[in-house]
Chain A
Amino acid sequence: MTLLSVRDLSVAIHGRPVLNRVSFDLAPGEVFGLVGESGSGKSMTALAVMGLLPHGAEVGGQATLAGTGLIGLPERRMCALRGREIGLIFQEPMTALNPMQTIGDQVAETLLIHGAASRGEALRVARQRLDRVGLAGERFPLERFPHELSGGQRQRVCIAMAIALRPKLLIADEPTTALDVTTQAQILDLLRGLVAEEGMGLMLITHDLAVVAGLATHVAVMQAGRIVEAGPTETVFRTRADAYTRALFAAAHHVPRRTPRIGSRPMLTVDRALRRYPLARRPFAPPRFFDAVKAVSLRLNAGESLGLVGESGSGKSTLARAVLGLDPLQGGAIRLFGEHPVGPRMPDALRAGLQAVFQDPYGSFNPRWRVARLVAEPFHLMPAPPADAAERVAAALTDVGLRPEDGQRFIHEFSGGQRQRIAIARALITRPEVIVLDEAVSALDVRVRAQILDLLCDLQDRHGLSYLFISHDLSVVRAITDRVLVMQAGQIVEEGPTDRVLDAPEHPYTRELVAATPKIPPGWMEDDDAA
């Protein structure tokens, strides 16, 4: 018996095709994974099924939920289905809830809007559902507002909202992408439990192959609006019949070729660094502080890649800002090249030796400047721009795999991966020796990420760079770093060679992180491991 049957679903938005004859089936109690890179049409498929496509969308084909045709259904009947028969969970729990309403009202609204219960009854069911998703009444009364909850807790509220009427089909669009790994593991557990208990079908949309491997019974791989390969999860993972699937899977656990040449010269030394923020003062009370980074020490040697992992709020980025000399320290010291103190008042010439690449390449560029000017920006750190500035910009662009002519174009003309290449070119232009990479590949699709990791390793090789590589993603850190530091609540809790720390973690927190990271079962990718 099928719950959801999609046949030849095609969507064009203002004449531009985004879905091309997508077909799949989903049985009750089954988890169906839809994987692919950004722009492949995963979310569009979900929105088409929900009838929530943007204006100007033309839909062709069929989607049938338990015998009811969904495509072309009048809006009034679609409204009656949404929330009652189909529940939907989105990626961004921080913004998915109305900040002005209590969580109880928002969960109860699902029942009220469908006339399924009186207000009192709806609130009673809301309580039950919140209990079910792990928000127990004594800590999470119905009167709580979303801003009083963490991201993971908000995602639980969203799930409670989606399952309030026990829908037959639950669509989860990247439900854990914005969450920390330990939180992700809990949410995935919750979804798994709900499917088993309620017998609902779950359509799981994600870019993360390991998440799909751990949860989905069937999987379909999407590329450019088409399903290129589909089948039982293990079969798809083992056979990888389609060329795109093979490329995608290979990129997902791509390990760049590296030949580390680590010297003994210290490039960056952090000695018991303390970053302290004052908290809001109460009248007549002593001032209170929050220590975001507590007496952290580390040493980055010449030619070394040092990883720094931890969950959001652990102090990674605060430490990165201090290391870049953007914020003052309240204790301890940071030194560059063994001697020069790092801080907000460090000389520009020293800054030229220490550059950074951040997560969001687009946000860090002035959209009105041409790329050549963007890349040349760090020259202001030098007393005068070098005579061969234009040649150096061209060389930096070539270094990162772009053409010198690209310097005449604007940043919006480039893809996400190319923008990150430009950000790297900008970081290289002053010929620094140390580069801080703060979640530099986290926003990139897997295939692009693999290319950027290759590029970083190649540049390190050729220019003898030292990297401080900050990431929440253990697989990336494993691929590119020699040593790793694990940070929790402002402190380094474990430190050592990357393979040792990730294979045989000693600190309980590291163990928890490693255990929570989703993994593809070892046997599934055998021929790849052999290669």
Chain B
Amino acid sequence: MPRYLLSRLGSLVLSLVVASVVIFVVVQVIPGDPATFMMGLNATPDTVEALRHSLGLTGPLPLRYLHWVGGMLTGDLGTSYTYRVPVAGLVLQRLQVSLPLTVYAMVLSSLLAFPAGMLAAARRGRGADLAVMGATQLGVAVPNFWFAMLLVIVFALRLRWLPAGGFPGWGGGLWPGLRGLTLPAVALALPQAAILTRVMRSALIETLSQDFIRTARAKGLSQGQAVRRHGLRNALIPVLTILGLQFSFLLAGAIIIENVFYLPGLGRLIFQGITQRDLIVVQSVVMLLVAAVIVVNFAVELAYALVDPRLRR
């Protein structure tokens, strides 16, 4: 186990370094001067030069890179050009929406997908399986913003159970915050649950044809007991992989849903950063997101080892 942990940790650090270099090079070095780009065509050379200076675009490249990385490590992500506030604060603010929303959506999608996938696998080819597979087909095919609008019409406008949009913040306690995130989380969770259900079902079907399931039956376990005690854990590896991918995707990929519900999330921050040519924000937020993906992958790999003893070496 320590060796596995060390090697995973090594690849985590290496990926972070490589990713940071790539992002740095793409934003700062590749043709086109960020300052000119940000100021637009009518800027005078003096103002551009001033901006270049304030962006830290002067000086040798390696030094600029180290300065940027050093800043990130100490929590200084630079100052946003358009907002005129530290990027770190902006990101923290947005994370208060995006992180809970992601976790909320993942919990909902797992709660839906695990039982549905198990049911479909156990009743393979029969009515329940066909119904579940039909529903997942729909879930994959229909775009989530359409679901979102449907949810708003039904639960916000007609039934008036939940707010139609906006986020009250966590200041008023847990409940108002959760209420604000419920409809967006459901809209995000449905397509993810559809994919997860399919993966769960096929992984479980594959596992159920294995010899050790027959052994379990020969010991006197019922079909259901064999699935729960021996099938599930063996089917978990592909499911964990998908869960990891979905987490990273939801963290920044919720932009359309954030727009539908007027949520101040990370996705909108990047979108605004790009449209307003705020490269400081873009560079830092992209790096943070890449770091999140890498860390999530690391966590998923640790989870593999927890599930599968053959990986603990």
Interface residues of chain A, those whose CB is within 8 Å of chain B, are 50, 52, 75-76, 79-84, 87-88, 90, 92, 95-102, 109-110, 113-114, 145, 147, 158, 161-162
4 new A-B contacts, CB < 8 A, other than A79-B222, A90-B214, A96-B212, are: A83-B219, A100-B230, A147-B309, A147-B310
- Contact (A99, B310) CB under 8 Å given A109-B229, A113-B225: yes
Indicate if B211 sits at the interface (CB-CB under 8 A): yes
Nearest CB on B from A188, distance (A): 20
Residues of B within 8 A of A114 (CB): 220
Nearest CB on B from A43, distance (A): 11
Is there contact, CB below 8 Å, between B211 and A113? no
Residues of A within 8 A of B217 (CB): 52, 82
B 291-313 to A, binary, CB cutoff 8 A, 1 in contact else 0 = 00000000000000001111000
User: Which 10 pairs show the lowest CB-CB distances between chains A and B?
Assistant: A83-B220, A88-B218, A95-B211, A83-B219, A82-B220, A98-B212, A145-B309, A110-B219, A96-B211, A96-B215
12 CB-based A-B contacts, threshold 8 Å: A52-B218, A83-B218, A90-B214, A96-B215, A98-B212, A99-B234, A99-B308, A110-B220, A113-B220, A145-B309, A145-B310, A161-B219
Instruction: Indicate which residue in A81, A95, A98, A158 contacts B220 across the interface (CB closer than 8 Å).
Output: A81
- Contact (A50, B218) CB under 8 Å given A99-B234, A100-B308, A145-B310: yes
Instruction: Indicate which residue in A79, A95, A98 contacts B230 across the interface (CB closer than 8 Å).
Output: A98
Indicate if B233 sits at the interface (CB-CB under 8 A): yes
Residues of A within 8 A of B210 (CB): 95
Residue of chain A at shortest CB distance from B225: A113
Is there contact, CB below 8 Å, between B215 and A158? yes
Residue of chain A at shortest CB distance from B207: A98
Residue of chain B at shortest CB distance from A144: B309
Residue of chain A at shortest CB distance from B310: A147
Indicate if B111 sits at the interface (CB-CB under 8 A): no
A99 to B310, CA, bound (A): 8
Is there contact, CB below 8 Å, between B221 and A95? no
Residue of chain A at shortest CB distance from B3: A282
A81 to B216, CA, bound (A): 13
Interface residues of chain B, those whose CB is within 8 Å of chain A, are 210-212, 214-222, 225, 229-230, 233-234, 307-310
A158 to B212, CA, bound (A): 10
Residue of chain A at shortest CB distance from B236: A100
Is there contact, CB below 8 Å, between B234 and A98? yes
A162 to B234, CA, bound (A): 22
Nearest CB on B from A86, distance (A): 8
Residues of A within 8 A of B222 (CB): 75-76, 79
Is there contact, CB below 8 Å, between A161 and B309? no
A145 to B215, CA, bound (A): 16
Nearest CB on B from A335, distance (A): 41
- Dominant SS at the B interface? helix
Is there contact, CB below 8 Å, between A162 and B229? no
A88 to B212, CA, bound (A): 12
Residue of chain B at shortest CB distance from A52: B217
Residue of chain B at shortest CB distance from A114: B220
A98 to B221, CA, bound (A): 14
A163 to B310, CA, bound (A): 27
Is there contact, CB below 8 Å, between A97 and B212? yes
A90 to B211, CA, bound (A): 9
Residue of chain B at shortest CB distance from A110: B219
Is there contact, CB below 8 Å, between A161 and B215? yes
Nearest CB on B from A106, distance (A): 8
Residues of B within 8 A of A79 (CB): 220-222
Nearest CB on B from A400, distance (A): 34
Nearest CB on B from A326, distance (A): 28
A87 to B220, CA, bound (A): 9
Nearest CB on A from B268, distance (A): 42
Residue of chain B at shortest CB distance from A99: B310
Is there contact, CB below 8 Å, between A92 and B220? no
A289 to B211, CA, bound (A): 34
Is there contact, CB below 8 Å, between A100 and B233? yes
A424 to B218, CA, bound (A): 40
Residues of B within 8 A of A158 (CB): 215
A79 to B221, CA, bound (A): 6
Is there contact, CB below 8 Å, between A52 and B214? yes
Residues of B within 8 A of A80 (CB): 220
Residues of B within 8 A of A82 (CB): 217-220
Nearest CB on B from A47, distance (A): 9
Residues of B within 8 A of A100 (CB): 230, 233-234, 307-309
Nearest CB on A from B304, distance (A): 11
A114 to B218, CA, bound (A): 12
Residue of chain B at shortest CB distance from A93: B211
Residues of B within 8 A of A162 (CB): 218
Residues of B within 8 A of A90 (CB): 211, 214-215, 218
Is there contact, CB below 8 Å, between A87 and B218? yes
Residues of B within 8 A of A75 (CB): 222
A83 to B234, CA, bound (A): 22
A98 to B310, CA, bound (A): 11
Is there contact, CB below 8 Å, between B219 and A109? yes
Nearest CB on B from A520, distance (A): 30
Nearest CB on A from B203, distance (A): 13
Residue of chain A at shortest CB distance from B211: A95
Nearest CB on A from B233, distance (A): 5
Nearest CB on B from A214, distance (A): 25
A458 to B309, CA, bound (A): 51
Residue of chain A at shortest CB distance from B309: A145
Residues of A within 8 A of B221 (CB): 79, 109, 113
A81 to B211, CA, bound (A): 20
A466 to B276, CA, bound (A): 79
A101 to B210, CA, bound (A): 15
Residues of A within 8 A of B307 (CB): 100
Residue of chain A at shortest CB distance from B308: A100
A110 to B309, CA, bound (A): 21
A90 to B219, CA, bound (A): 12
Residues of B within 8 A of A110 (CB): 219-220
Residue of chain B at shortest CB distance from A161: B219
Residue of chain A at shortest CB distance from B212: A98
Is there contact, CB below 8 Å, between B309 and A99? yes
Nearest CB on B from A442, distance (A): 20
A110 to B221, CA, bound (A): 8
Residue of chain B at shortest CB distance from A147: B310
A50 to B220, CA, bound (A): 10
A79 to B222, CA, bound (A): 6
A97 to B310, CA, bound (A): 13
Is there contact, CB below 8 Å, between A95 and B212? yes
A84 to B216, CA, bound (A): 13
A504 to B218, CA, bound (A): 44
Residue of chain A at shortest CB distance from B237: A100
Residues of A within 8 A of B216 (CB): 98, 109
Nearest CB on B from A364, distance (A): 24
Residues of B within 8 A of A95 (CB): 210-212
Residues of A within 8 A of B229 (CB): 109
Nearest CB on A from B95, distance (A): 35
Residue of chain A at shortest CB distance from B231: A98
